[in-house]
Structure 1
Amino acid sequence: MAFQISQTFLNLPVKDLKRSIAFFEALGFAFNPQFTDDNAACLILSDTAFAMLLTESYFQTFIKKDIANATKTTEFIMAVSVSSKEEVQELVRKALASGGSASNEPQDHGFMYTESFQDPDGHLWEVFHMDPTYVHEA
């Protein structure tokens, strides 16, 4: 039996929760106030995908290992799909103008266009648009 995930929650440690909230609001994202307080903020990525921005001290309560310093090491790349190449460019432009930093050069593969940025804590975000006619059903 194959599992189907109904919702996705990515948990990210952040140094300054208010700064992180302001950064993602400047990009046009909203937060779910029901799951937002002084320790955490629920960033709404889509109807089924969320990023929980957790203060480092609160994040530490969920783990036994050290928190990775995302400005020096890469723990993952969060890839998010948008509906057009122009939306990719706009979201990355907003990220760079709001305190994010460049990550990689844009890549145009014909069927897929990507750009990326680092948020203020160094987490890597890749924004892409893929031609929906290219995707084949499995």
Structure 2
Amino acid sequence: MKPEISIITVGVDDLERAFAFYRALFDISDEQIGAGEDHVAFFFDDKFSFVLFPREQIAQTAGKPESLEGTPGFVLSHRAESPEAVDDILARVLVAGGAVITPGTESEWGYSAYFEDSEGNVWELMAQPKAN
């Protein structure tokens, strides 16, 4: 895997407060911001996004029962070329001593999986759905 960080997701305790902070900090137009009930995304270009996500939900993504000390406060996302590439990288993760948190799964966002490295840092692998 040649890492290309496509998304950095940061865990926050207060989504509205964090949004206000980063909105004031980043020089970005309103058209480059997307928000849902549980997240805010800043789209800097076609290859990089910065996302705010509740820390409790990051804990769940990481397979932890709750957000305790040592729960990752961020997720690094790597955009793979295909679902097969996602699965190939997961196989390499296991050989290298990491652990698969969530195996490759198809969703409306594409094909994705989560793993943790040997130190417990969480990565997302994703392959976007093919255009119709």
TM-score (norm. length: structure 1): 0.44
Structure ID, larger Rg: 1
Choose between structure 1 and 2: higher helix proportion. Answer: 2
Choose between structure 1 and 2: higher strand proportion. Answer: 2
TM-score (norm. length: structure 2): 0.46
